[in-house]
Structure 1
Amino acid sequence: MKAMRLHTYGDIASVVAEDIPVPDVGPDEVLIRVAAAGVNPLDLKLITGHAAAYFPLTFPYIPGTDLAGTVEQAGPLAARWRPGDRVIARPAPTRGGAFAEFAAVPVSQVAAAPTSLSLETAAGLPTAAATAWQALFETAHLERGQTVFIHTAAGGVGSFAVQLARVAGARVIATASAANADLVRELGALRAVDYRTQDFAADLDDVDIVLDTIGGETQQRSFSILRPGGMLVSIVSPPDEILAVAHGVSGAFVFHQTDATRLGSISGLCDAGSLRVVRDQVFDFADMQAALQRVASQRSRGKVLLAIG
């Protein structure tokens, strides 16, 4: 099979196309013929070694943690899946494997793909949508009627977070560039704050939950808009505990872990018409490096996708 492999930490050019054997399937694994993969900022951190403290890689390594495709073979402990079943999957970052024509994935990381979406589009769901779900519902315990503030709402995680918060009955305020303001409001935000020209910290207060997708100074300034007892949830870096205490709020860091039940719920929301994938660009498999460069540019709107099979 064709696969993109990395033999040591490096830059985008270090990931090269190779012909390798189709992976063996363990008893609790599913062999998936990959139709498409999602490309994430995490992939860049894994390739460069910037995430090595959390996710040390074993080389050679096939990048990619988001995929959609059809079941080719299932191990005896994954017998619920049959050849031809349409699935989405999110293999663990240390395992990777999505940037290949076939991937063997533990059954605990596989769910049915939405019937309403093409596999190419569905490949944008696993990491970004599930991270937004974990942050809002499992960490912040978002409730109907609360106000949630979402940074970079036109990005991968942000675009799903806006929709999920809306479905949960929350009041959503979000940051976006002026060019993406209409999209963010279309997804469900009541207000879009232009981060280039407006100071969110000066304009907002009494927010129940902040979803931080940026970190650094932006994260620090976000504490001031929370009501007493509110929560800042970050997907990029652990919040400053001293600042949290000083503002009378709490902070939490989301360390995303794949869960097939969560993925199944997300798939169901898509089929119910409550969740959509915002597609940025779709790249051919041979243009994988260009796809990574698009993500690295930080100008993508929604999900960057890689068409494989």
Structure 2
Amino acid sequence: MSKDKHEQSALFPNEDVATLAQIIHTIAKGDFSATDKLYELPGQAGISPEVANLAESFGMLLVRMEAGDFHIERAAEVEERLKELNELKNEHLAIAAHDLRNPLSAIRNMAQMLVEMELTEKTKEEFLHSIYRVSNQMLTLVNNLLDVAVIESGNLELTLKQGNLSALAAERAEIIKPVALKKGLAVNTSLGVVPDSIFDADRLGQVIDNLLSNAVKFSQPETTVLISSRLVDINFEITVADQGPGIPESELDNLFAKFEKLSVQPTAGERGAGLGLSIVMDVVAAHGGRVDVQSTVGKGTAFTITLPVDASA
């Protein structure tokens, strides 16, 4: 007989009480493997009702203590998560403020010159075009920030309707063509015949816009951007490929992270906050799909969206 068990038997001559005391003593020392014995004790033959009730009461006390520990740990986890989210929010605000400050200053300076200086009609027209272009960049940034906020809050809602993904790709390609033409780029399409499916046309249109915009932004004049679509087994594939500088392999893992800035730079001084690809990934994931990227430095980059035939699945 062990020393502890001998001591418990001496203190509690009744065998039932001694057994219960031994179990409690073991648990009190931090050995919670004895809790199974505690829960089994009331059902054992020959155990007195008083000892059985006492064992059940002590078992309930342990359960409540464990639940209390769980709630404390859970509260600590929630507090830590809230702290992380608050830090992320502050980081977002700081980056957004930085990215908005420069274009706002540019608009203010150009507007001040338009008001205070005698300018030629040509210069006025150039300033107005610049104000329009910069304000559009700011609007894109604000819209992206709002989209990120919606996605991170878990409130992204899809308006699912029947449509055709090849037709959507063709429509978005036509929209980007004037921008590409100004840079001396060609936007070509190779769109397969695909069946209609169910998806959110506005959100997936935003995805295609972001990919096409990036392709144009990072491409040199006299190169081509190609958007293609096809049906592969039970999935749709939409690919946007450019002949730009490519992305270093070391940057591919963080490519879809929020506010990620690449080492390669836009070819005409275009700006971006690094939110577009993050939104692309989240919207495609909400449709049950995925985004893959292939890139070769010096040759170009291709983004492929893979979606189930029924994107509502």
TM-score norm. by structure 1 comes to 0.23
Which has the greater radius of gyration? 2
* Greater relative contact order (Cα < 8 A, sep 6+): 1
Q: Which has the higher helix share?
A: 2
TM-score by length of structure 2 reads 0.23
